[in-house]
A and B are shown apart, each in its own frame.
Chain A
Amino acid sequence: MGKFKKVNMDNLKKSSQKEQKVAILIVWTVISVTISIVIIFPFLADSQTVLESAPTCISKSQFNVECSLCGMTRAFIEISNGNIGNAYDLNRGSLFVYSSFLLNSIIFIAYAIYYMIVMKRTRYIDDTRIVSNSKIYNSFFY
């Protein structure tokens, strides 16, 4: 009876951990998609449309004082046009932020492709349990 209770507790713990992993994965997906849109948008739309769609800084418009994020939209437009030097002049942190966004997007796309390949290899044993040949996939979900 005690052994059964322990196994049941372990299963509940595993199920809870799986839920947490799925939640983190979904949150990462939402953030990565948003970031990817931010990166891709300046390439698709003209600079005027991007500037109009971005929020205007209250600090600059009301008090005429630039904040740490001022010039970021213009810097992103300059980076998408290939003018790295201009982007650095507009906002010094823009290169770091843009490269972080880009790196995250690349990792996310690579993971998504890998996940799709793994899902193709996955074989269903029954309705409740999925078994994959991949060790990484198993370590993530089980």
Chain B
Amino acid sequence: MKTASLIFGILAIIGMIVGFFPCLGSLNWINIPFATVGLIISIVAVTQAKEGEPKGNAIAGLVLCGVAMLFGLIRLTAGGGVF
């Protein structure tokens, strides 16, 4: 679960970076739901981690997905995709 959250996080960040290229902003329509799924998986991974078990990877996934969602939304708004 922790590995999955990290995979989702890295892919979401890459998707966000590609979405920042000119004319590729519409990619965020796919990337934001993808990052949301990653965020849910990360939250589950953090909450399910046992006492003493490292949560670093799950937290990294959580942060990466959150950042991808936030900046993706900003890019989508700036590009005229939302309003």
Contact = CB atoms under 8 A, between A and B. Distances in A.
Answer yes or no: are A and B bound together in one complex: yes
Interface of A: 12-13, 15-16, 19-20, 22-24, 26-27, 30-31, 55, 57-59, 67-70
Interface residues on B, range: 10 to 19
Contact of A16 (B11, B23, B24, B56): B56
Given A16-B54, A59-B22, 4 more contacts: A12-B54, A15-B54, A23-B57, A67-B22
Interface of B: 2-3, 6-7, 10-11, 14, 21-24, 26, 52-54, 56-57
Contacts of B23: 55, 57-59, 67, 69-70
Contacts of B52: 12
Contacts of A69: 21-24
Contacts of A26: 3, 7
Contacts of A31: 14
Contacts of B26: 55, 58
A16 B7 contact: no
Contacts, number: 45
Nearest to A69: B23
Contact of B57 (A20, A30, A58, A59): A20
A22 B3 contact: yes
| A contact patch SS | helix
B57 A19 contact: yes
A68 to B, nearest CB: 6
A30 B11 contact: yes
A23 B14 contact: no
27 contacts: A12-B52, A12-B53, A15-B54, A16-B56, A20-B57, A22-B3, A23-B6, A23-B7, A23-B57, A26-B3, A27-B7, A27-B10, A27-B11, A27-B14, A30-B11, A31-B14, A55-B23, A57-B23, A58-B23, A58-B26, A59-B22, A59-B23, A67-B22, A67-B23, A68-B22, A69-B23, A70-B23
A19 B7 CA distance: 10
A36 to B, nearest CB: 16
